[in-house]
Amino acid sequence: MTTSTTPARPEGPLADIAHLRHTAAHVLAYAVQDLFPDAKPTIGPAIENGFYYDFDRTEPFTTEDLETLAARMREIVKADYPMTGRRVSREEAIEAFRDNPYKIEIAREIPEGDPITLYTIGGFTDLCRGGHADSTGAIGALELESVAGAYWRGKSENPMLQRIYGTAFVTQQELDDYHAFLEEAAKRDHRKLGAELDLYHVDEMAGGGLIFWHPRGAIMRGLVEAFIRDGLRERGYLPVVTPHIVHENLYATSGHLENFGDSMFGPIEVEGQRFRLKPMNCPGHILIYANEGRSYRDLPLRYSEFGTVYRFELSGTLHGLTRVRGFTQDDAHLFCTPEQLQAEFEQTVDEALRLMEAFGFSEFEYFLSTRAERGATDEIAEAAIRNALESHNLPYQIDDGGGAFYGPKLDINLRDAIGRKWQLGTVQVDFVLPERFELKYRGSDGQDHRPVMIHRALAGSLERFFGVLIEHYGGNFPAWLAPTQAMVVPISEHQLDYAYEIRGRLRARGFRIDTDASNEKLGYKIRHWKTQKLPYILVVGKSELADGTVNVNERGIDEKRTVSVDAFAEELAARIAAKR
Ligand SMILES: [Zn+2]
Ligand SMILES: [Zn+2]
């Protein structure tokens, strides 16, 4: 027996565009069925900015195939097939996809009692949970972008599938705007700018996902760290430093091995003992807490560390600075009494906002991520997060099941200068690890009590944060962050001594200044330093030497100014102080 179902349509334009794109994924699978009947469809969700569909097919899809498929998709769109759904039994679903082991696997895994639905457009039927446009004609513009390999269910022991990426919009104008956006994003790509501005590289000889910070990048990283460290000191955090490699047992006790093992590098055997690279800093901070008896008077205790961690990521998913295998978190763990939890959590939210605003971010999204398997304390933990958000008037969304294995968390996403979303900071409430490690403090009642832990990393990974900063600023770093704040460029060798003198005077004031002593033509030198995106180029010729001045070329401003060296120093100091 079958019954018709109408897919639920969540409110709002975001849901609509996701439904439209997911519908386009169905249209793609329809076109593939028509043109490449040997390919087996697997899954095809909407993603940010588009959709994909994974197919099992021996022969690779070529660029020409994508063009042919897109043309067929446009015909399907034009035919304006309605999307019709019907509920079926598990047996019917399995029978309908008897030649497709992937669909059968999905059909078998749908929990008992949950609806199993088939959706049809024209001559194509798919097993799907729903969330569609009403008909294929709702798609105003579409295109296919690329093909990439992807393991079934993201697991490397599974078959390799071919993932076709595409995008769809309500109108052609929106697709055109999207292309303009992609062009801007490509200009800001941190991998491209990282090389052009000599900030970092990834070395094949050392392995993927491991970052070599060049001096210019390391200077910037140091500035970010110093800024964060100042904030930590003001707020009463205590620095700690913990080892990169410890006995595997520590991670058995913490539960990381069991819950996070897939993301950890394998064991290293020494003298018959098994060690692991640390995937998280928490267990190390816990050992410091547990190393002596604690009283309620000691709490809250806030331990911070720029802690470097190592996590296994498939090589195919690695991406510049934003998806790596070794990274450093601005990590901290707060140990507090249950009564202190609310205030401590709210303080970390304040810190997070202050940090992001200092780097010029102003748009944020908040997610309360709950645990898939909620325990008795989750209610208290979730309430702390909810209250902190509500007391700050911060609207938030719920991410069901997105929490850490030890507790629910607050994730903070931000939007960069061209509107892209990035997930960076996270604050988590944890009753589980204190239990596992049997942490205690002596209360005012003379009895032992269990502390609560807050895990927080506000920039998140410094590597990822730096990647986002490069793209957010498009390499045009504000003066306070720029690795070189100004280049002194003499017009001829007669001003070279003067150029060095200016460099010395400005360096003595703590500025990051260099001199271009090359024999290139002036025009070439100025163009070169402009492509290096320096905040200032200071040109000195005969008259500047005579008057003790510099000719200021400011980034992004055509007009040049001649000012005294001291006046320039004051301007730069003011700009740095204002973090502009
Ligand atoms: Zn669907
Ligand atoms: Zn932690």
pLDDT tier at 11 (50, 70, 90 boundaries)? very low
CA of 119 to the centre of ligand 1 (A): 7
Q: Is residue 255 one of the residues assigned to a domain?
A: no
Task: Report residue 118's pLDDT band, with 50, 70 and 90 as the boundaries.
Answer: very high
pLDDT tens, position by position, 356-393: 999 989 889 999 999 888 888 888 899 989 999 999 89
Neighbours of 290 (CB within 10 A): 15
Q: In whole angstroms, what is the distance from residue 358 CA to residue 493 CA?
A: 41
Closest listed ligand to the CA of 126: 1
Same domain for 469 and 490, yes or no, is: no
**Same domain for 306 and 371?**
yes
Based on the domain organization, do 119 and 182 belong to the same domain?
Answer: yes
281: CA distance to ligand 2 center in Å? Answer: 6
CA of 430 to the centre of ligand 2 (A): 9
Question: pLDDT per residue over 392-402, tens digit each?
Answer: 899 999 998 88
Average pLDDT rounded to a whole number, residues 424-438: 93
CB 139 within 8 A of CB 20: yes
Pair 309, 453 in one domain:
yes
Q: Can you give the pLDDT at residue 48?
A: 85
DSSP track, 450-500:
PPEEEEEEEEEEHHHHHHHHHHHHTT---TTT-SS-EEEEESSGGGHHHHH
The catalytic residue among 329, 340, 347, 485 is: 329
Residue 258 lies in a domain: no
473 C-alpha to center of ligand 2: Å? 30
Position 3 confidence tier, pLDDT thresholds 50, 70, 90: very low
The residue from 409, 449, 503, 525 that is catalytic is: 409
CB neighbour burial string for 461-499, b if at least 16 within 10 angstroms, e if fewer: bbbbbbbbbbbbbbbbbbbbbbbbbbbbbbbeeebbebb
> Is the same domain home to 176 and 34?
yes
CATH number at residue 140: 3.30.980.10
Q: pLDDT-derived band of residue 14, with 50, 70 and 90 as boundaries?
A: low
Shared domain for 466 and 522, answered yes or no, is no
Pairing of strands 124-127, 141-151: unpaired
Top pLDDT among 10 and 515 is at 515
pLDDT digits (tens, 9 = 90+) for 169-201: 999 999 999 999 999 999 999 999 999 999 999
Question: Is 399 domain-assigned?
Answer: yes
Mean pLDDT of 215-236: 96
Rg (CA), the chain: 28
Q: Omega before 451 cis (within 30°)?
A: no
Same domain, 434 and 538: no
Ligand (nearest to CA of 284) = 2
Q: Is 190 a catalytic residue?
A: no
Which ligand has the nearest atom to the CA of 333?
2
Alpha-carbon gap, residue 297 to 27, rounded angstroms: 64
Q: By percentage, how much of the chain surpasses pLDDT 70?
A: 97
Say which ligand is closest to the CA of 282. 2
Task: For 161-226, give the DSSP string.
Answer: EEEEEEEEESSHHHHHHHHHHHHHHHHH-HHHHHHHTT-EEE-TTT-TT-EEE-HHHHHHHHHHHH
Mean pLDDT of the chain: 93
311 given a catalytic annotation: yes
Q: Which of 167, 182, 165, 176 is nearest to 418 (CA)?
A: 182
Structural domain count, the chain: 3
Question: 162 catalytic, yes or no?
Answer: no
Q: What's the confidence (pLDDT) of residue 9? A: 33
Query: Of 19, 163, 455, 472, which is the active-site residue?
Result: 455
For 46-81, the pLDDT digits (tens) are 998 899 999 999 999 999 999 999 999 999 999 999
* CA 238 to ligand 1 centroid distance, Å: 51
DSSP output for 266-321: PPEEETTEEEEE-S-SHHHHHHHHHTS--BGGG-SEEEEEEEEEE----GGG-BTT
Take residue 476 and report the two structure tokens written for it.
Answer: 């045009």
Quote the CA–CA distance of 93 and 328 in Å, as a whole number.
Answer: 47
Query: Is 455 one of the catalytic residues?
Result: yes
CA of 333 to the centre of ligand 2 (A): 6
| Ligand that comes closest to the CA of residue 20 | 1
pLDDT recorded at residue 6 = 29
Residues with CB under 5 A from ligand 2 (ion): 282, 455
- Span from the CA of 302 to the centroid of ligand 2 (angstroms): 12
Residue 372: predicted pLDDT: 82
Residues 217/469, Cβ–Cβ less than 8 Å: no
Q: Are residues 417 and 343 in the same domain?
A: yes
Contact of 406 with 372, CB cutoff 8 Å: no
Residues 158 and 14 in one domain: yes
Q: Which domain holds residue 363?
A: 222-239+294-473
Quick one: pLDDT at residue 1? 30
329 part of a folded domain: yes
536: DSSP letter: E
User: Cβ distance 183 to 177 under 8 Å?
Assistant: no
Q: Are residues 421 and 348 in the same domain?
A: yes
Is-catalytic flag, 333?
Answer: yes
Residue of 282, 416, 495, 533 with catalytic role:
282
What is the spatial distance between Cα 375 and Cα 373, in angstroms, rounded to a whole number?
Answer: 6
Q: Residue type at 572? A: L
68 and 120, same domain (yes or no): yes
Q: How high is the pLDDT of residue 156? A: 87
Please work out, in degrees rounded to the nearest 5, the angle formed at the alpha carbon of residue 119 by the alpha carbons of 114 and 125.
125
| CA 216–ligand 2 middle distance (angstroms) | 30
Which residues is 311 bridged to in the sheet? none
Q: Which of 473, 506, 534 is the last residue of a domain?
A: 473
Continuous segment of H or E residues that includes residue 326: strand 326-336
Ligand with an atom nearest the CA of residue 305: 2
User: What residue type is assigned to position 152 of the chain?
Assistant: W
The per-residue b/e assignment along 355-369, b for 16 or more CB within 10 angstroms, e otherwise, is: bbeebebeebebbbb
Any domain includes 478: no
